[in-house]
Amino acid sequence: MRTPSRKKKRTIEAIDLFCGAGGLTRGLIDAGIKVKAGIDLDKACRFPYEANNAAKFIEADVGEITGALLKKWYAPTAVKVLAGCAPCQPFSTLAKDPNRSSGSRWKLLEEFARLVEEVQPDVVTMENVPRVRNHAPYKTFEAALKRNGYHVAAGVLRCASFGVPQERRRFVLLASRLGPISLPAPLKQEMTVQEAIGHLPPVAAGDITSKDLLHRARGLSPVNLQRIQASVPGGTWEDWPAHLRAPCHRTESGQSFKSVYARMRWDRPAPTITTQCHNFGTGRFGHPEQDRAITLREAAILQSFPSDYRFVQGEDDFFFSVIARLIGNAVPPLLGKAVGIQIKNHIQQIEG
């Protein structure tokens, strides 16, 4: 009597558009999804992307990539996932016109939709700032997915609810041609700043540790050193003596900016890590105890990158602004992992 053969599970393969330094790719890999390639126009992304992930980096403009090229990367029988986080600056709080759709960056979602139509992947995932859904390019993107037979689930997720030690909120979309799909459910356990970076060795402003190229902090001017010394965790510049306050703090408009020149708290997730996270004056980026801004390694860990994730090859490649941009623009890997696990669970439910 023959034993019924089990249906062989298909591999899940992904291509990461606008891949940056590899945050989303890292998360998908950790979820068990094979990422074949990442595409980005920023050449600074090549080293961190390939040094940390078993995937190929393609330096190219997504607008010049064809679906035929992407199809060559997927195995014929694989479940195909097309992922991407188009640059979010056009959709941030500074983009006040929700109907505006001109400009090259605004058109990147159109290019994403074009590639979806050309490739017809089984699953699509997109991540961006929460305000993206208010703008015409996103509405056109979602309409294109539905027109091509995709079931769409989308909403704003709080990164801290998925283990990221940071109060970042991101808009996440999952779309599937296989059947209805849902967003990942939040976890119960959150991580604080102290749990994430409290174990790292102390560093003085302007100094570096000998073991980790990224665990260095920018120097502080004499007045900013006095300001951070007068700052308390979770406080504001209102805690300072009057002579340390900047002229903008005395204006009516400046008085509303309370989360600049400020320290983080040990007992809570960090605020949103931005591309300016290495500057004490651009946000709540002061270390909870030490008189300095957070280091680039601390910023990367607060984005949920592994503590050994490499962003540059050596000292000659070290530039604060470049590395901070790569870190701040990244999809938090733990958010990417949650999305990847959700995709795997969805495919398992559909295909058995």
5 domain residue, yes or no: no
Pair 26, 67 in one domain: yes
C-beta atoms surrounding 149 within 10 Å: 10
Q: What 3-state DSSP class applies to 313? A: coil
231 domain residue, yes or no: yes
Pair 33, 171 in one domain: yes
How does pLDDT run across 72-126, given as a tens digit for each residue? 999 999 999 999 988 755 444 444 444 444 445 558 899 999 999 999 999 999 9
106 domain residue, yes or no: yes
Decide: 189 and 163 in contact? Cβ < 8 Å: yes
Determine the Cα–Cα distance for residues 19 and 70; give it in Å rounded to an integer. Answer: 14
DSSP sequence for 63-109: GG--HHHHHHHS-TTSEEEEEE----GGGSTT---TT---STTTTHH
- What is the count of structural domains for the chain? 2
The pLDDT value recorded for residue 247 is 75
Pair 302, 341 in one domain: no
Mean pLDDT of the chain: 90
| Tokens standing for residue 340 | 């990847």
Pair 138, 176 in one domain: yes
3 domain residue, yes or no: no
Determine the Cα–Cα distance for residues 197 and 215; give it in Å rounded to an integer. Answer: 11
Decide: 159 and 184 in contact? Cβ < 8 Å: no
Decide: 197 and 265 in contact? Cβ < 8 Å: no
207 domain residue, yes or no: yes
The pLDDT value recorded for residue 106 is 59
Pair 117, 167 in one domain: yes
In percent, the amount of the chain with pLDDT more than 70 equals 89
State the first-to-last Cα distance of the chain, in angstroms, to the nearest integer.
24
Determine the Cα–Cα distance for residues 156 and 229; give it in Å rounded to an integer. Answer: 36
Pair 263, 181 in one domain: no
Query: What CATH number does the domain containing 229 carry?
Result: 3.90.120
Decide: 175 and 150 in contact? Cβ < 8 Å: yes
Pair 197, 226 in one domain: yes
Asked whether residue 290 carries a pLDDT value surpassing 60, the answer given is yes
The pLDDT value recorded for residue 101 is 46
Pair 313, 336 in one domain: no
Pair 50, 186 in one domain: yes
How does pLDDT run across 189-212, given as a tens digit for each residue? 899 999 999 999 999 999 987 789
Pair 160, 222 in one domain: no
Cα 185 to chain center, whole Å? 18
List active site positions: 88
Token match 């559909």: residue? 350
> Which letter, b or e, does each residue of 200-233 get, where b requires 16 or more Cβ atoms within 10 Å of its Cβ?
beebebeebeeebbbbbbbebeeebbbbbeebeb
Which domain, by its residues, includes 100? 12-190+331-351
Determine the Cα–Cα distance for residues 346 and 171; give it in Å rounded to an integer. Answer: 19
Determine the Cα–Cα distance for residues 61 and 47; give it in Å rounded to an integer. Answer: 18
In this structure, what is the dihedral angle of CA atoms 161, 162, 168, 171, given to the nearest 10 degrees? -100
How does pLDDT run across 48-78, given as a tens digit for each residue? 999 999 999 999 999 999 999 999 999 999 9
Query: What CATH number does the domain containing 64 carry?
Result: 3.40.50.150
Pair 170, 226 in one domain: no
Q: What 3-state DSSP class applies to 12? A: strand
| Tokens standing for residue 139 | 């509405």
Q: Provide CB contacts within 8 A for 52, sequence distance 6+.
A: 22, 26, 306, 309, 310
Pair 322, 278 in one domain: yes
The pLDDT value recorded for residue 85 is 86
1 domain residue, yes or no: no
2 domain residue, yes or no: no
199 domain residue, yes or no: yes
Q: Which amino acid is at 186?
A: P
The pLDDT value recorded for residue 352 is 74
Helices (H), the chain: 23-30, 46-52, 67-73, 108-119, 136-147, 193-197, 222-229, 296-302, 320-329, 333-351
How does pLDDT run across 207-261, given as a tens digit for each residue? 987 789 999 999 999 999 999 999 999 998 889 998 998 876 666 555 555 678 9
